[in-house]
Structure 1
Amino acid sequence: MTINQLRPSYKDYLWGGQKLKENYGKKTDLNPLAESWEVSTHPDGPSYILGGPHDGLTLKAYLEEKNQAPLGTKGQTFDRFPVLVKFIDALGELSIQVHPNDEYGFKHENEYGKTEMWYILEAEPGAKVYYGTKEPISKEAFKQSIEDQTVLDKLNHVAVKKGDVIFVEAGTIHAIGKGIVLCEVQQNSNTTYRVYDYHRKDAEGNLRDLHIDKALDVATLTPLNTDFEPAEVAKTYENHTKQLLASSSYFNVQKVEVGGSFTQSISKESFKSITVIEGSITFEDNNHSLTLNKGESAFIDAGSQHIKTDGPGTYLSVSV
């Protein structure tokens, strides 16, 4: 079968909650549950093939066994798997942070930079994100605001709601606020430079590390566009609609709402990852059938043909 369900890796960061277990079917003893790494070849949290002839293989091992062919012609131009898809449940606020671009990331961390996109799945009343600065500010003044604990006053606070699309380019000072559940599509990187962490302590009673000098090296300290609109309006097809949420040189993200049955084929240029965010979607290929429920993900090989797709449900599709 050219579509494989994936089993995620989980993270219990101190700001996480219980919603991924309660609302997205995640089964783990971790408490809290902060993140579910759905589509990943990163060594810090790989995803695994679930079921079928490749059951138990990591996604990375599956691609190696297939000589990278499932990535597609464009996917194979990257020197490693290009994306990472995750769910995030922020019961508390995440640290104020920034990610490097590719040049800085490879030089200092031996991995990609981290441009990312958030699709807001749930947002409690008053939920907000930190995104860029209110005014242009020098590195010296920004560093001083960290030291005197006024940094939050320098940041732009933006209210968010379900359905918002937030593109976070490398270099953007940002943080996800409390009361938000989202799906994140990002470059395949786990490099985060923390600027401020509210003086929280981890399970061992230690303050988490900050990375202020590196953060200042890469940060864009200016106000940014906060329209948070999808890249395109939704387009209607037979029994489904497609909407391009974000498009970049790193990844393309579509939201697909399925109202019945239709057949799709995957370009030979790129794989597609599938993450279901509402309902239940069935994919049928060569008499093999796979049903994904809300919170579940899969990987479809590039060049896969005549995949019958049936809902009702909604999924996010990621390609390069």
Structure 2
Amino acid sequence: MLYPLKFHPVYKSILWGGRNIEKKFNRNIPDGKIAESWELCCRNDGMSIVSNGDLKDLTFEAMLEKYKEQLVGTDVYGAYKNFLPLFIKIIDANDRLSVQVHPDDKYAKSHGEGNGKTEMWYIIDAKPGAKLVYGLKTGVTKSDFIHSLSGGNLGELLNEIPVSPGDVFYIPSGTIHAILDGILIAEIQQNSNTTYRVFDWNRVDKNGKPRELHIDKAIEVINFDNPPVLNRNRNYVDKGGYNERVLSENDYFTVKELNISDEFTGETDGRKFTVYMFIEGNGHIYYEKGCEPVSLGETVMLPASMGKYSIKGHAKILEIYVNTK
């Protein structure tokens, strides 16, 4: 029987990173500027490896090859086979990221880039006054955008939004966006890193060269007609023992925030797996064959075949699962 699975985070050192993952979650992380912690990944450039139980040291790729539907579920395996459609990160931005956009599935595949990228951000922590870029200002047209690029004043068209912990941003493909400095984010996304950079704040690397931009592709995929809708919903539904709010429900995944004060009960019904990210607090996951303790900052995957379980403790967690069309 499969059990609650934990994985070794895959850390990525990038110039705009910092040490906030270490500070917030009391983690032992590598030296340097750590920008990303890949919590669940199955990619050539980063692979989750089991850190607990009988399957310890097994890669996600090998586990998926062996357990198939038992691991990810009949619906997910039927739609994606040996491809994990979900990619989960924690991002520590101590400097501005580039202004960028991601293509949809159709465009990405037609250009030999796999699938597109729709994502969601959950603000774990933010410095006072922190902001991010979420789409373009109201009324900005394609011609306005092209003109601003040639004139070097794109910043005037960007929609900057103040952020605070608990804020949620759904970023469908085609949405211009950028994480700015002083923000710690949980990012849930399609399993893709296809990114078209539009503007990088005129920065240069150690050799004095600017980063590559992808202006032509970006202009082709930006959705100028349907700007993103900001979700400021902080309404929770009391479920007795915990309360919840739905953060995002789209074609690719669903994310909920659960605030557990006593106990949450659930079941993986064989159709899909479920992931829990412990944003605050800690707890224990009880299942048929045992109990798995979970601490602040840990991410746990519950296999599709695991069945009934309960989470006991005092914790704020994100519940994540794949949607299939």
- 1:263 corresponds to: 265
Residues 160-190 of structure 1: CA distance to partner in whole angstroms, max 9, x if unpaired? 1111111001000111111111111111101
Match among 117, 125, 133 for residue 120 of structure 2: 117
Q: Is the 8 A contact 2:105 2:115 kept in 1?
A: yes
Q: Is the 8 A contact 2:70 2:270 kept in 1?
A: no
- 1:182 corresponds to: 185
CA distance 1:17–1:109, change in 2 (3 Å): farther
> In the alignment, is residue 149 of structure 1 matched against residue 161 of structure 2?
no
Secondary structure, aligned partner of 2:15: coil
- What one-letter code is carried by the residue in structure 1 that aligns with 2:39? E
Unaligned runs of 5+ residues in structure 1 are none
Q: Is the 8 A contact 2:172 2:228 kept in 1?
A: no
- 2:236 corresponds to: 234
TM-score, normalised to structure 2, is: 0.92
- 2:274 corresponds to: 272
Q: Is the 8 A contact 2:284 2:313 kept in 1?
A: yes
Q: Identity rate of aligned residues, in percent?
A: 34
Report the Cα distance in structure 2 between the residues aligned to 1:161 and 1:181, rounded to whole angstroms. Answer: 10
Secondary structure, aligned partner of 2:217: helix
CA distance 1:33–1:109, change in 2 (3 Å): farther
TM-score, normalised to structure 1, is: 0.93
- 1:163 corresponds to: 166
Deviation at 1:267, TM superposition (A): 2.7
Report the Cα distance in structure 2 between the residues aligned to 1:250 and 1:191, rounded to whole angstroms. Answer: 16
What pairs with 1:15-26 in structure 2 (closer than 5 Å)?
15-26=16-27
Q: Is the 8 A contact 2:68 2:77 kept in 1?
A: no
Deviation at 1:138, TM superposition (A): 4.1
Match among 280, 286, 293 for residue 288 of structure 2: 286
- 2:39 corresponds to: 38
Moved more, 91-100 or 141-150: 141-150
- 2:252 corresponds to: 250
Secondary structure, aligned partner of 1:170: coil
How many residue pairs match? The answer is 319
Report the Cα distance in structure 1 between the residues aligned to 2:159 and 2:319, rounded to whole angstroms. Answer: 30
Moved more, 25-34 or 244-253: 25-34
Report the Cα distance in structure 1 between the residues aligned to 2:14 and 2:225, rounded to whole angstroms. Answer: 29
Compute the RMSD of aligned alpha carbons: 1.9
Report the Cα distance in structure 1 between the residues aligned to 2:209 and 2:12, rounded to whole angstroms. Answer: 18
- What one-letter code is carried by the residue in structure 1 that aligns with 2:182? G
> In the alignment, is residue 87 of structure 1 matched against residue 93 of structure 2?
no
Identify, as 1 or 2, the structure richer in strand. Answer: 2
Moved more, 274-283 or 70-79: 70-79
Q: Is the 8 A contact 1:252 1:319 kept in 2?
A: yes
Q: Is the 8 A contact 2:117 2:190 kept in 1?
A: yes
Q: Is the 8 A contact 2:132 2:161 kept in 1?
A: yes
Report the Cα distance in structure 2 between the residues aligned to 1:19 and 1:59, rounded to whole angstroms. Answer: 27
Report the Cα distance in structure 2 between the residues aligned to 1:25 and 1:58, rounded to whole angstroms. Answer: 25
Report the Cα distance in structure 2 between the residues aligned to 1:87 and 1:29, rounded to whole angstroms. Answer: 15
Deviation at 1:124, TM superposition (A): 1.5
Match among 196, 214, 219 for residue 217 of structure 2: 214
Task: Show structure 1 runs of 4+ deviating over 3 A.
Answer: 135-141, 202-206
Secondary structure, aligned partner of 2:301: strand
What pairs with 1:45-64 in structure 2 (closer than 5 Å)?
45-64=46-65
